[in-house]
Each structure stands twice: as structure tokens, then as C-alpha cells.
Structure 1
Amino acid sequence: MFAIVKIAGQQFKVQQGQNLYVPHLDGKAGDTVEFTDVLLTDNGDTLSTGADVKLKVKAEIVGEVQGNKVIAFKMKRRKGFRKKHGHRTLFTHIKVTDIA
């Protein structure tokens, strides 16, 4: 059984016991998170979409990680202007515990 879930504006295909890295969610390690915006479910022989889906996906927060560094470099030629900015996006590591 799998489900397509909308988390922070992005769609993820999840199965029970799966580990995912999703955009930053509020909470700390060990907290339980519930996602109610389920778009599609497949239960082997039946496929449910839209308003027919009545399931919720529960997951446990494992921790937080930072993504790769992204560099934004601005330069104007012949002017001596150089500006370098960088950031690392936060992701939350979750483990799907239940689809019910």
C-alpha cells in the first residue's frame, strides 16, 4: 500500500516504514506528525483519488539535517563589485509509521 501526500506544497509517494527528507517541519526528534492532505492511495487492487480518500498518514520526526550549500554570487564587471551569499536549507528527516 502506498499514498501520495502533499507536504509543504510538494507531493511525496510514501509507504509504511519509509524514511523521507521533507522541507522543514515544526517539532523535535521523537514527535509525531499527521498529514491529512492525502491525494491518492493504492491498496493493491483499489485506487482512490480526490474526495474518496479518507486516510491520514502518520510519521515520526527522526531529526533535522541541512541541505547542500547554495551560493548566490553577484558581480558587475569593470566596477569592482562582488557580493557572495550562501545558505543551507533545513530539511526534516521523518519515518512513516502508519497509513490509516
Structure 2
Amino acid sequence: MYAIIANGGRQFKVEEGQELTIDYRSDAGETVTFDQVLAVSDGAGDVKLGAPTLAGATVTADVIGAAKGPKLVVQKLRKRKSSRRKTGHRSVLTKIRISSIAAG
């Protein structure tokens, strides 16, 4: 059984027991519920599609922990002006484990 969920402007195909990394959501030890479920498959070939989401379908996950992602460096250079700016940031990410998928 798998589901396709929308979170943070991205879509993820998830299965029970799968671990994935998303944008920061909550602290470790908490349970997160995703209600923007786009599609659910029962594994036997039967797929339910939403328009755009399935009513009553939810995916729950346990938060494993949070960590910072890789450093992204942004540079701005103005040609022939001897003017440069270099900045960077590291986004905080959350690692989750999918615990259950409810088709609704």
C-alpha cells in the first residue's frame, strides 16, 4: 500500500515504514498527520485519485528527529564594479517514519 502526499510544495510517494526527510515540521517524538493525500493504492492495483485531494484520507508519521541540511551558498557579483556579496544558509529538516495510511 502506498500514498502520494503533498507537503511544503512538493509531492512524496510514501509507504508504511518508509523514512523520509521533509522541511521542518515539529520536534522529535511527536506524531504528524498529513491530510493532503493526492492518491492511495491498496497494493492490488486499485488506485483512488483525488480531485485534487482525497476526502477523509490521512497519512500519519512519527518524527524521528531534526537536522540541518547542506549549506547553500548564494553569490551576487556586479561586473566591473568591484562589488560582491556572498551569503549562505542551511535549512532545518525533519526526518519522519510513516506509521499508517488510511484511505478514508
**What's the TM-score once normalised by structure 1's chain length?**
0.90
Query: CA RMSD, aligned part only?
Result: 1.5
Offset, 1:44: 1.9
1:59-95 Cα deviation digits (max 9, x unpaired):
0111111111111111223322111101111211011
Give the share of equivalent positions with the same residue, in percent: 38
Structure with the bigger percentage of strand: 1
SS at match of 2:80: coil
Aligned residues: 99
Residues 1:50 and 2:59 are matched in the alignment: no
Q: Which residue of 2 aligns with 1:5?
A: 5
Letter in 1 for 2:24: H
Q: Which residue of 2 aligns with 1:40?
A: 39
Runs of 4+ in structure 1 off by over 3 angstroms are 51-54
Q: Which ranges in structure 2 are unaligned for 5 or more consecutive residues?
A: none
**What's the TM-score once normalised by structure 2's chain length?**
0.86
Map 1:47-86 → 2, pairs under 5 A: 47-50=47-50, 53=54, 54-86=56-88
